[in-house]
Structure 1
Amino acid sequence: MPTSPAETRLEPYARLPRGHHGRTVLDSTVDAEGRAHWLLGEHRPHGAAREPYDAVVVTVGDGPPHETQLSALTARFPHLAALPDGGFLVADSRSRAGDEQVRVFDALGRLSRTFRVGDAIEHLLTDAAGGLWVGYFDEGVYGDDPLSAPGLRHWSSTGESVWSYQPVDGADWISDCYALNVSGHTAWACTYTDFPLLEIGAGHAIRVRKNPVQGVKGLAVHGDRAVLFGGYGEDHDRLVDCRLTDSTDSTDSTVRPVAEGRLLGPGGGRLDRRRLVCRGPRLYVQERPGTEWTVLDIG
C-alpha cells in the first residue's frame, strides 16, 4: 500500500431544510431507497423517567421535503429507521427486560405496534423488505440481555426474531458490531475482535473473509471491491481500498488491501465526530450539527 495517504473527498448528498435548523437533531438516517430522514425534537431527551415527547421526521428525497409527526416517544437514545410502506420505526438504544423500546408508526404517524430487540443498539438498518438488522455494542453482548448476546440479529418489522448470529468457521463470537452495511437482502458486518468481513446473504448463509484492517467503523461494497473506513486514534478517517477474494472454502476467502488514504469532508477538511450509514456501494457521513449528509459512492 502507498506510504503517503491519498485524499478522497465526500460529495454533498442531502440537506435538512433551513426552516428546521432551530430544532434538535435526535437522529438521522438514509433508507434503502436513498432518502434521507431526520428525527427532530424541541430538545434532547434526558433523565431516567422517560417522559413522553413529540417529534417530527423530515424526509428529503427526489420530491419536496415531507414531514411526519410522531407522538409519545420515550426513547432517550433514539435510533430512526424508515420502512418501505412509508412508516417509521424509533428504537431506544438502551433498554431493560420488559421494555418494549421499539415503536413502529405508519405513514400517517400513528403508532401501530411496539416490541423489544435488546439492549445496547449500535446499528439499526432496515432492508428492502422492511426487515430490521440490529448490531449491538459490547455492553449488550456481555450484559444480562439474551437478545443482545449474539451481537448481530435480523428481526421482522413486527418484532419477530428472524435470525441471530452464531460462530461459523473462520469467525468467532461477536464482541462488538463495529460496522454494518445493509443493501437489498444482504448484510455485511465488520466485528470486534478480529474484524472479519461477514457477508450474510440468501437464507442467512454467511461467507467469512479474513480481514487485516482493524478498527473498521464503516464499509462500502460493490462487486469484488470493498472500501473500509475508520480505525483507532489517528486512523479515525482512514480509507482502505480492498479487493474481495472468494474460495470454495469460505475460510480461505480474504479482504486484500490495495491502497490506503484518508476520507475528507467536501471542503477538504478533516472529519469531526460523525454519524455513518452504509448502504451497498455508498458510505453516508453526517458531521455535526447533523443538518447535512455527504456520500462516498464506489459504485
Structure 2
Amino acid sequence: MQKTVLVPYAHLPQAHHDRHVLTSTVDILGAAHWLLAERAPQPGGDVLPFDALVVSVDPGGKLTELSAVRARWPHLDRLPDGGFVVAASRVRRYEDANQVQVFDALGREISSFSVGDAIEHLLVDEAGRIWVGHFDENPVGIRCWSATGRLAWTSDDARIPGLFDCYALNVSGTTAWACPYTDFPLVEIRPDRTNRPVRVWANRVRGSHAVAVHGERVAFYGGYGKERDRLAHGEIIETSVESTDVGLLTLPDGSAPGRRRVVGRGSRIYVQAEPFTIWGVFDLSS
C-alpha cells in the first residue's frame, strides 16, 4: 500500500518542553498554538481555575498568559483579533455556564458561555465564528457560535443524513466541511449562502476523523481498526464521492503516528503525534 509522508510543519520550542501540553491546534491562518500548564490535570483532583500559557509558533512567535482557565480537558483556537477561545470538552455541574472562555490578545477573559457537552471539534473561522462538532454523548450535531455566545447556525434542520457524532470537521475561510457518523457523508456548510447553504454527497469511506478538500478532490484520514492510518482519496461528483485511491499516512520517518491530534483546514490535514510537540502536515493541493 502506498505511503504518504507527513511534512514537518511546526515545533514547540525546546524551552517549553518542561510544561504539560494540555492541547494544541493550528488556526485559520496556519499558525500553531500550544496550551501549556505546569502539570498534567488529574481527574477530579485539580483545583480550578489555573493559569496557563499559550505558545504560538508563526513567523512572529508569541507567548500569551491566560489567567483563571477553567477547562480541565480543553479545546483551543485563536480568534482573528489575536484573542483565544478555550473550551471544556465535557460539562460537569457548576462548569456548565462557563464552559467556553474567550480571552483577548492580552490574555484577559472577556466573555464566557456554554455550547453543550461532548465537544469533539472546536474551530474558529476567518469571521471569528466558533464551529463546534459534538460526539455521541450529546448528539446535537454541528453548531456555529459568535464569540459572545450567540448561536449563528445549527444542523438541527439541515437534513444531514445520519448526523449522530461529528467524526471529522474542517473549517477554512467561512466554510465548514464535515464527515459525520453514522452515514459518513461529505457535507459542505456555508451559512452565508442563501441558496443551498448545506450540500451533501454520499460517501463509502467509513470512520474518518479528518477530511481535506481541494476543488473537486477530497481526502479522508483515519478509520476503524487496521484502517486507523488510512488516507483515502476521492473525487466529488454530482451526488457522491467516488473513491480514487487508498494508502497510508505516516510520520516523516515512515512510522505510524499512534496517539495523535488532527486538525482539518481546507486542503490540509495537520497531525500531531504523542508527545504532542510537533505538527506535521498533509496538503491535498501539493
Q: Normalised by the size of structure 1, how large is the TM-score?
A: 0.90
Instruction: For residue 203 of structure 1, give the secondary structure of its aligned residue in structure 2.
Output: coil
* Separation (CA, whole Å) in 1 of partners of 2:179 and 2:47: 33
1:168 Cα deviation after fit: 4.5
Q: Does 2:282 match 1:293? A: no
Letter in 1 for 2:155: Y
* Aligned equivalent of 1:29: 25
In the alignment, is the contact (CA less than 8 A) between 1:29 and 1:277 conserved in 2? yes
In the alignment, is the contact (CA less than 8 A) between 1:231 and 1:238 conserved in 2? yes
* Separation (CA, whole Å) in 2 of partners of 1:155 and 1:127: 10
* Aligned equivalent of 2:134: 136
* Separation (CA, whole Å) in 1 of partners of 2:83 and 2:27: 12
* Separation (CA, whole Å) in 2 of partners of 1:243 and 1:195: 15
1:125 Cα deviation after fit: 0.1
1:166 Cα deviation after fit: 2.7
* Aligned equivalent of 1:52: 49
Letter in 2 for 1:38: W
Q: Does 2:14 match 1:18? A: yes
* Aligned equivalent of 1:174: 163
User: Structure 1, unaligned stretches of length 5 or more?
Assistant: 142-148, 247-252
Aligned length: 279
Which residue, 214, 219, 234 being the options, matches 2:211?
Answer: 219
* Aligned equivalent of 1:69: 65
Letter in 2 for 1:160: R
User: Structure 2, unaligned stretches of length 5 or more?
Assistant: none
Which residue, 152, 166, 169 being the options, matches 2:142?
Answer: 152
Q: Does 2:266 match 1:280? A: yes
In the alignment, is the contact (CA less than 8 A) between 1:86 and 1:107 conserved in 2? yes
Instruction: For residue 219 of structure 1, give the secondary structure of its aligned residue in structure 2.
Output: strand
1:234 Cα deviation after fit: 0.5
1:47 Cα deviation after fit: 3.9
In the alignment, is the contact (CA less than 8 A) between 1:50 and 1:74 conserved in 2? no
Letter in 1 for 2:182: T
1:258 Cα deviation after fit: 0.5
Deviations 1:158-182 (A, max 9, x none): 110001103555x325110000000
In the alignment, is the contact (CA less than 8 A) between 1:88 and 1:105 conserved in 2? yes
1:293 Cα deviation after fit: 0.3
Instruction: For residue 140 of structure 1, give the secondary structure of its aligned residue in structure 2.
Output: coil
Q: Does 2:83 match 1:78? A: no
* Separation (CA, whole Å) in 1 of partners of 2:244 and 2:30: 28
1:99 Cα deviation after fit: 2.6
Q: Does 2:216 match 1:230? A: no
Instruction: For residue 184 of structure 2, give the secondary structure of its aligned residue in structure 1.
Output: coil
Instruction: For residue 234 of structure 1, give the secondary structure of its aligned residue in structure 2.
Output: helix
Which residue, 243, 251, 257 being the options, matches 1:257?
Answer: 243
CA-based RMSD of the aligned residues comes to 1.3
Instruction: For residue 283 of structure 1, give the secondary structure of its aligned residue in structure 2.
Output: strand
Deviations 1:183-225 (A, max 9, x none): 0010000001010011002436110000000001101100000
Letter in 2 for 1:75: A
Which residue, 190, 199, 219 being the options, matches 1:207?
Answer: 199
Letter in 2 for 1:296: F
Q: Percent identity?
A: 52
In the alignment, is the contact (CA less than 8 A) between 2:162 and 2:180 conserved in 1? no
In the alignment, is the contact (CA less than 8 A) between 2:223 and 2:230 conserved in 1? yes
In the alignment, is the contact (CA less than 8 A) between 1:32 and 1:183 conserved in 2? yes
* Separation (CA, whole Å) in 1 of partners of 2:226 and 2:148: 41
1:157 Cα deviation after fit: 1.0
Instruction: For residue 228 of structure 2, give the secondary structure of its aligned residue in structure 1.
Output: helix
Deviations 1:235-287 (A, max 9, x none): 000011100013xxxxxx11111010000101111121100000000000000
Q: Does 2:98 match 1:112? A: no
Q: 1:50 to 1:160 in 2, by over 3 A?
A: farther
* Separation (CA, whole Å) in 1 of partners of 2:92 and 2:191: 32
* Separation (CA, whole Å) in 2 of partners of 1:297 and 1:231: 19
